[in-house]
Amino acid sequence: MQKNDENNVGGQEMSYLYSAQNPAYPPAPYSQNAGYMPNPPPYSDQNPPLMGVPAYNVYPPPPDQPPQAFNGDKPDVEVPPEYTVGLEESNPFSERAIRRAFIRKVYITLSIQLAITFGIVFMFTFWETLRFWVQDYPYILYAVLPCTIILVMVLACCDQARRKVPLNYILLLLFTILEGCMLGTLAAFFDADAVMWATGATIVVTLGLTLFAVQTKWDFTILSGGLMVALMVLLSFGILAAIFRSFWLNIVYACIGTFIFGMYLVFDTQLILGGKHRYTVNPEDYIFATLNIYVDVINLFIFLLQLFGLCR
């Protein structure tokens, strides 16, 4: 009580300084009966109100959930997905069973194709009547060649044609028969021994390069541009070899062609295998994958046949 009286006396003295008897001073910033401020009323809730910057949730929490203080974590905001380039994020070979079924289907179809093709080639080679007839009338080669080119373009460029069953199998069978007739016409102008040597060498080279493509850690699928340039150079070299008709030039041409299509065989094999390679073939395009391997093997046979025929 004594302390409060002293404070009241001090307040009256200060108010006197700011009273009208001293007009030089400004009015008092507080009331004349100033004293201690009363204590704030107690909180009705046990949890005191939040202080500082409010949390990210602007709306109040539900009645059955107590308010939570901001703990420094980022709010749950939906972040847009990142756009990636390449085939690794959407790899169709994510499941091992799908890959194995795809590879099995490709190589079973390829085996049937090669059996039909080389059966026709051996028929043109060992059937003397057919062989002599083809040698007298070689125009069948020029008649079959445009048809095979058209079928290759259809199977390679038309998704519906190579994915729709049984249309894709019918077109592939027709292409295989025509290709066998074209190779048989070509083989009729070589000795039977050269044809057999070329067939055996094709089998050995194909199996060896396939095993190499499976075991190697090198990724040949990134060489598509370089292989395309090499193919263009090979075509230009073939035109020169046809014009000059040099024996050694044809030997070099056959060796280069064998090497390039051997590289293509490794390239297409790794496209089928998938895995950690940069580029892969969609499992739905098994006809397209089979066609790639088949064309590589056939071109290997053609260049090896030319090589063995010239060396004998």
Query: Residue 292: what pLDDT?
Result: 92
Q: Does residue 37 belong to any structural domain of this protein?
A: no
Q: Does residue 2 belong to any structural domain of this protein?
A: no
- What sign does the CA torsion over 199, 200, 203, 209 have? negative
Instruction: Give the span between the Cα atoms of 183 and 141, in whole angstroms.
Output: 8
Query: Residue 82: what pLDDT?
Result: 42
Q: Which residue would you say has higher pLDDT here, 137 or 70?
A: 137
pLDDT of 3 above 60: no
Query: Residue 101: what pLDDT?
Result: 87
Query: Residue 107: what pLDDT?
Result: 93
Domain count, the chain: 1
pTM equals 0.68
Query: Residue 223: what pLDDT?
Result: 83
Q: Does residue 30 belong to any structural domain of this protein?
A: no
pLDDT of 74 above 80: no
Query: Residue 265: what pLDDT?
Result: 94
pLDDT in tens, 199-213: 999 999 999 999 998
Q: Which domain holds residue 199?
A: 96-311
Q: Does residue 188 belong to any structural domain of this protein?
A: yes
pLDDT in tens, 99-134: 788 889 999 999 999 999 999 999 999 998 999 999
Q: Does residue 13 belong to any structural domain of this protein?
A: no
Query: Residue 235: what pLDDT?
Result: 92
Instruction: Give the span between the Cα atoms of 227 and 230, in whole angstroms.
Output: 5
Percent above pLDDT 70 for the chain: 68
Q: Does residue 220 belong to any structural domain of this protein?
A: yes
Query: Residue 244: what pLDDT?
Result: 86
Q: What is the mean pLDDT of the chain?
A: 77
Amino acid at 20: A
Residue among 80, 107, 103, 81 at smallest CA distance from 92: 103
Q: Does residue 266 belong to any structural domain of this protein?
A: yes
